[in-house]
Amino acid sequence: MLTRRYLIAAGAAGAMTGLAGRALADATKLTFCSWGGALSDLEKSALLDPFGKIKGFEVVPASPTNYAKLKAMVESGPPEWDLVDVGGRFIWQGADLLETLDMSLIPNAKALDPGWVAPKGIFTSTGATVVAWNTKSFPEGQGPKSWKDFWDVKTFPGPRGLYKPFYYNYEAALLAAGTPHADIYPVTEDKVKLAMDKIRELKPNVKVWWMAGAQPPQLLSTGELAMSSAWSGRVLAIMRENAPVAMTYQDGIAWGNAWVVPKGTPNAKLAMEAINYALSPEAQGRLVEFGTYGPVLEAAAAKGTPEQRKLMVTAPENIKTMLILNEEQAAIYSAKYENEWNRMQLG
């Protein structure tokens, strides 16, 4: 089972009340911001639109998630976004910008592993950062199987793509260097230096430092990149279109998609009720059916067919080979070493 128990700060079950007296600015719509593409489509179709029909409101989509924009919205108030999908580290880094969740409005969270629940954010689906490749460059059975292979440009030649922030790259580089999964955390100066050195080694072969999740599958499908790090859901979506792209969960970096409520939104109560619905068995079951990003509710994952489970991060045969991203540690290194990382990229 994919557990996040050690990733979220203690006291996750605690919550603030006081939303009952807050007037809704517009109970006929809920503005939801996510990262775009397959994830946004899935979240809207599987988790939010059905609840909107029940409650009588329209889900207004926005993308992509932008932390600077969210900060500006909250500070100028009231924010345009009512509910936002964020990287898990933002639960800590952006805590001052977020409402504390009223857990009395989210009773379905009780069915989750406690590690998926934090005072200011709840994970609603799972994904992973994986090694993906163009199948014309590496035919079936000849593709990479790990981050070590990703770094091996002699055996697996061709231009690479890596995520622009240090996030994910710290883990990928250490795995490529042979660091055991159990030793990736906690973050230390020596580990950061090793990761930076490993990325400098690969840097001449990195053609694209990507930011948007749509970039890797698109660039892989056209052959502009031979190999790239990528978000699993994006790759699975384009594979369904028979694009010449493949991926492996082996050595993947598993994470969850966290939903948060921006501080000051008049629709905070409705947003928290929407989170509760997204965690319901019926909503989580739809994630299994869509087959791109998986459920956080273990009972929903267990009901998937063998073919469906092959696509899930949380399937035992997949997760046993993966590293579970420690979001709290990622929040530390992605902030503390940001300047050094930027200098390395530009140098």
Residue with tokens 């880094």: 93
Q: Above 60 in pLDDT, residue 24?
A: no
Is 128-254+323-346 a domain of CATH 3.40.190.10?
Answer: yes
Residue with tokens 């082996």: 250
Query: What is the structure's pLDDT at 14?
Result: 38
Tokens of 113: 């592993």
CB neighbours of residue 3 within 10 Å: 13
Average pLDDT of the residues in 284-297 = 92
Query: What is the structure's pLDDT at 19?
Result: 46
Q: Tens of pLDDT along 156-212?
A: 999 999 999 999 999 999 999 999 999 999 999 999 999 999 999 999 999 999 998
Fold type of domain 29-126+255-319:
D-Maltodextrin-Binding Protein; domain 2 (3.40.190)
Domain pair 29-126+255-319 / 128-254+323-346, same fold? yes
| Distance of alpha carbon 324 from alpha carbon 310, whole angstroms | 18
- Strand runs (DSSP E) across the chain, as ranges? 29-33, 58-62, 83-87, 117-118, 121-134, 160-163, 206-210, 227-231, 245-260, 294-295, 323-324
Query: What is the structure's pLDDT at 220?
Result: 99
Sketch the domain layout of the chain as residue ranges. Answer: 29-126+255-319, 128-254+323-346
What is the pTM for the complete model shown?
0.80
Q: Is 89 left (phi over 0), alpha (psi -120 to 50) or beta?
A: alpha
Average pLDDT of the residues in 42-71 = 97
Residue type, 159: P
